[in-house]
Structure 1
């Protein structure tokens, strides 16, 4: 068996005059002596101040490393996330009863953080969501309206879309049947957020 020689410095040992180096032969070093040396190096605690520790002799003899951790009878389940765990864009719109109260302003402001670029309008006929896009030209505005329609078609809940100033699109969302906002408005807003618009945006000028 090959012998590995390492040098250790033990300034706290009373019988040694530091800085004195000692050679340690790991071929004859027992687990108890390793723990003792490690105590001198770390400052008193057999477990060390932090990090992993060396196994104790009793642990080595028990063959703990060869045992499987866990129970073979453990039941493993794949949990399907519920609606609250899904992002707004992954949720589906549901029918809204006219008897349902509109969303409160506090709840709407909390959900507003989950959609990008939308702002809250507090008008006489209730709360609304509004978003504006500045586009390259009229053709890009028409293209964006078509993309929004394709995304919202399957949801059955459509925003009011306006093409303004030849290169600006304005979208407004609210649930008219309850006179305010519902969860459907935020779901559709989140779906619209995922539409690619970078190719429709005005080109940046590069000055030489």
Structure 2
């Protein structure tokens, strides 16, 4: 198996009025191609911060992250953005759709930012795979929460990423909708053969992963 993501002695400390606040300490994690891993732990344990560091959205104060063979600490902001665009998909709890774009335009967006051809055809196919072909021209405000998250999943997979990260992907959904969204997430991930790392409070969702890593107090 090929290692696609690793964190080595990762730490994150931020300044606060009360002094330095240690959010993450001595995190070591390795994920191989095609593996699925759930991060579980109470609110404030550091799950979202860890995902942000692993995706290169923020800088650790200690340690390093290697994503698809690239040491993120050796890349500038543009370099990290290119790496994400080429190899990483991300699904957020709050969907993060562009409200002024239709469903298909939201899914096309990462392909267009990467300069890829055939964006509309690929986005149309991705929406079909999440069962939203008939809603392709609807704006996010006209979609239910579950439909919005399915658009977000289609957008995350449309670039065929090697790594998919999901931060509480069912957190804003009711139980039945969350179950359906979870089914779609794992089905598409299996088809794509991507490495999946998700942060969740949902024990059923976590139980579908190859392994579960538990976080508490900034430690893994």
TM-score bucket of the superposed structures, by smaller chain? under 0.3
Higher strand share: 2
TM-score (norm 1): 0.22
Query: Which of 1 and 2 has greater Rg?
Result: 1
Query: Which gives a bigger RCO, structure 1 or 2 (Cα 8 Å, sep 6+)?
Result: 2
